[in-house]
């Protein structure tokens, strides 16, 4: 059961600058009074009434808290405290200040496969620990793979955002069509029973992108992307994989498999010769091979542009909705409609996916 403290957060932490904000709350830097340690405080407005669309549902916060309180690993973001008042819940999280892994890599001039493998090891170790606890992430993507800081010579990977994570119980099936289209597994699209193998598919996609700067299934539309995933329509194009080792391609091929039972587990990935070479020849091949940095930079720039565009689009829509609500002569129905639309702009890609699936069926 998730543990929420009824005390006032300001009795224990000094509230600092805003690090980020959204419709339902904001993230601020906070300083622990007893130790002087800085953390990230996630201040979330809680939905006051069952029928209201404003604020976060407490049960969803409780779900994420339960997951994080069960996970203590160097490669998973730390949840230190949770405070609750009548109006909000405050999560005290590890301050992850190094930014996204993909942004860090994009700043480099070149990167050998052997260097990329060190990052993949940490991701797999964190994921393997999660899976050992019967917890799947279900939203692995570049935006959720962060660095604890940039100044360390050996940056530490941190997996974040456990809003879609699920803890499996024996003999209980779990289905969900949530996720981000280009990273989800075929069984998610088909609404089949899910397991930890869905995360391993995402690892295959992320590795493919990391090495080539190309997304294996991405189309011009989400519908096209989903169709490519179902059809297993991908290949290793020579112009993007000319500097990639054959053993790296083998690693990806053992993850991008339609049958979840045939995919490598996180533990098996850590023992794969690409991650843990057996022969000197395998070591030499890794050291000679590199990621397609030119194309990777293009992919990352396009990804960041799309994220910025979506934020501007969301802000413009929120402004229009607020004006609509203020100009209404019948406030109650309008307010309900505005609340619904406003919340939808904050929805995860999961909601988009559900709409895409229903409209294409």
What distances in angstroms separate CA 181 from CA 7, 195, 315, one per listed residue? 40, 18, 23
Q: Which residue ranges make up each domain of the chain? A: 14-94, 101-296, 308-360
DSSP 5: B
Predicted pLDDT at 260: 98
Pick the CATH number of 14-94 from 1.10.10.350, 3.40.50.150, 3.30.200.20, 3.40.50.300: 3.30.200.20
101-296: CATH superfamily:
Transferase(Phosphotransferase) domain 1 (1.10.510.10)
Residues in the annotated binding site for ATP: 42
Catalytic residues: 139
Q: By the 8 A CB rule, do 201 and 263 touch?
A: yes
Q: Which two structure tokens, joined as six digits, stand for 103?
A: 């942004």
E strands in 103-156: 135-136, 145-147
Q: Which pLDDT does position 339 carry in this prediction? A: 30
Q: CA–CA distance from 261 to each of 10, 195, 248 (Å)?
A: 49, 9, 21
Q: Label residues 64-86 b or e (16+ Cβ within 10 Å = b).
A: bbbbbebbebebbbbbebbbbee
* pLDDT (0 to 100) of residue 68: 96
In order along the chain (361 residues), what is the average pLDDT of each group of 10 residues?
88 95 86 97 85 78 94 96 92 94 93 94 98 97 93 89 93 94 97 98 98 94 95 95 95 98 98 94 89 92 67 48 48 32 38 46 43
Residue 337, pLDDT score: 30
In angstroms, the CA 129 to CA 141 distance is 18
- Note the pTM of the prediction, 2 decimals: 0.83
The binding site comprises 42
The set of residues, in sequence order, having a beta carbon less than 8 Å from that of 253 and lying 6+ positions away, is: none
* Other beta carbons less than 10 A from residue 358's beta carbon: 9
* Residue 54, pLDDT score: 74
The strand order across the sheet containing 13-22 reads 13-22, 25-32, 38-45, 88-94, 79-84
Tokens 């194309």 sit on residue: 295
């Amino acid at each position: 059961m998730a543990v929420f403290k009824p005390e006032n957060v300001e009795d224990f932490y000094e509230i600092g600058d805003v690090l980020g904000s959204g419709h339902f709350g904001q993230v601020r830097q906070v300083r622990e009074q007893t130790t002087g340690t800085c953390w990230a405080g996630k201040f979330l407005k809680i939905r006051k009434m069952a029928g209201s669309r404003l604020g976060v549902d407490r049960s969803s916060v409780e779900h994420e808290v339960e997951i994080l309180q069960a996970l203590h690993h160097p490669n998973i973001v730390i949840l230190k405290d949770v405070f609750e008042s009548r109006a909000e819940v405050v999560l005290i999280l590890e301050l992850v200040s190094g930014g996204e892994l993909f942004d860090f890599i994009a700043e480099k001039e070149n990167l050998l496969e052997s260097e990329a493998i060190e990052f993949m090891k940490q991701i797999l170790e964190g994921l393997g620990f999660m899976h050992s606890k019967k917890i799947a992430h279900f939203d692995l993507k570049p935006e959720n793979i962060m660095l604890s800081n940039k100044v360390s010579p050996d940056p530490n990977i941190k997996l974040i955002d456990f809003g879609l994570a699920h803890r499996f119980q024996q003999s209980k099936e779990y289905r969900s069509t949530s996720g981000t289209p280009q990273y989800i597994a075929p069984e998610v699209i088909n609404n089949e029973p899910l397991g930890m193998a869905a995360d391993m598919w995402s690892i295959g996609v992320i590795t493919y992108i990391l090495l080539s700067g190309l997304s294996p299934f991405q189309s011009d539309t989400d519908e096209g992307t989903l169709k490519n995933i179902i059809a297993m329509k991908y290949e290793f194009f020579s112009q993007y994989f000319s500097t990639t080792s054959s053993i790296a391609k083998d690693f990806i091929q053992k993850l991008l498999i339609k049958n979840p039972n045939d995919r490598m587990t996180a533990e098996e990935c850590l023992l794969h010769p690409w991650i843990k070479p057996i022969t000197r020849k395998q070591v030499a091949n890794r050291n000679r091979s590199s990621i397609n940095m030119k194309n990777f930079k293009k992919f990352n720039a396009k990804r960041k542009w799309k994220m910025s565009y979506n934020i501007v689009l969301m802000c413009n829509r929120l402004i229009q909705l607020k004006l609509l609500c203020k100009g209404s002569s019948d406030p109650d129905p309008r307010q309900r409609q505005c609340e619904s639309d406003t919340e939808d702009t904050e929805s995860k890609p999961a909601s988009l996916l559900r709409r895409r699936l229903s409209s294409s069926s």
